[in-house]
Structure 1
Amino acid sequence: MNASDFSFLGIAGANLVALLALMLVIWRIARGFKNGLVAEGSGLFALAGTYYLLKWAGELLAEKISSLPVSGKYAQLLVYLVAFYLVYKLLSGIFKRVGANLRRIPFLGWVDGALGAVLGCLSAAFVLYLVEKLTGLDVKRCVEEFLTRLPVSLPLR
């Protein structure tokens, strides 16, 4: 799968992949600040747990996918992503209950939010890693090329 396979609203290829990756990172940082350390930590733990659980159960899932009437790499990817999402939501809901009242303490609430933003960024990086691993897209290269073409100077290294 190549970045040139994608286009939306006139934005195509590597630019679209880079914009989606950057939007994911910004969204996860903002959501991490809102949710806090405990919720983001449990979400990141659920994300990693889901990845390893589905990696472990991948053979069973691959066997079930091959029996579907629709075949091809996109159908397999879609089934894998739906299973990933469902297991993630289940684990995330279970782990999120642990420490929801921490945000109510004024100073700890702010620190909790800042650390949650850091973990939100880490979870976005993990999701982008999974996208690269599952699709073969070079997301990092797409983002670097996109940022070097911006009219402003950004310290990339």
Structure 2
Amino acid sequence: MTHVKRFQGIPMSKSMRGLCKEEDYAFLAESEGTAEETAGAVALEDDWRDGKEERVRRRLDRERQEKEKLREIEESKKEKEQQWRSHVAELTSTQEKALQDRLRRLRRFREFQKKVLVEESGMEGLAAGLTVDQLLTRM
């Protein structure tokens, strides 16, 4: 009976109301259906917008996470490269130091050999030095 209340506000004669009763019902059915359809359409549109906003938010979140992951990978690569460089520099330094120590020991040993050969041969001077150098070169 809500239609009666709704249409009482419309200025109309009694006879006219009687004639339009069927039309009133038809109009009410259409307007209520339209209102329901409109409400349904608005709800669907709101749901669609919410879904679209949610999809956009998720996409942006995935992109942000992907960028973060790529940045972390790049940082990890840089850190590993830096560690490798320091490792190689340390190895090079150690090897260089070992070679320098070996060279020093060899030179001392050669000097010792030279000294022993000069003493054993009993020769002194420049000629003895040249002969000893020739002997050491042959060894």
Same fold per superposition (TM over 0.5): no
Larger Rg: 2
Q: TM-score, normalised by structure 2?
A: 0.26
| Greater relative contact order (Cα < 8 A, sep 6+) | 1
More helix by share: 2
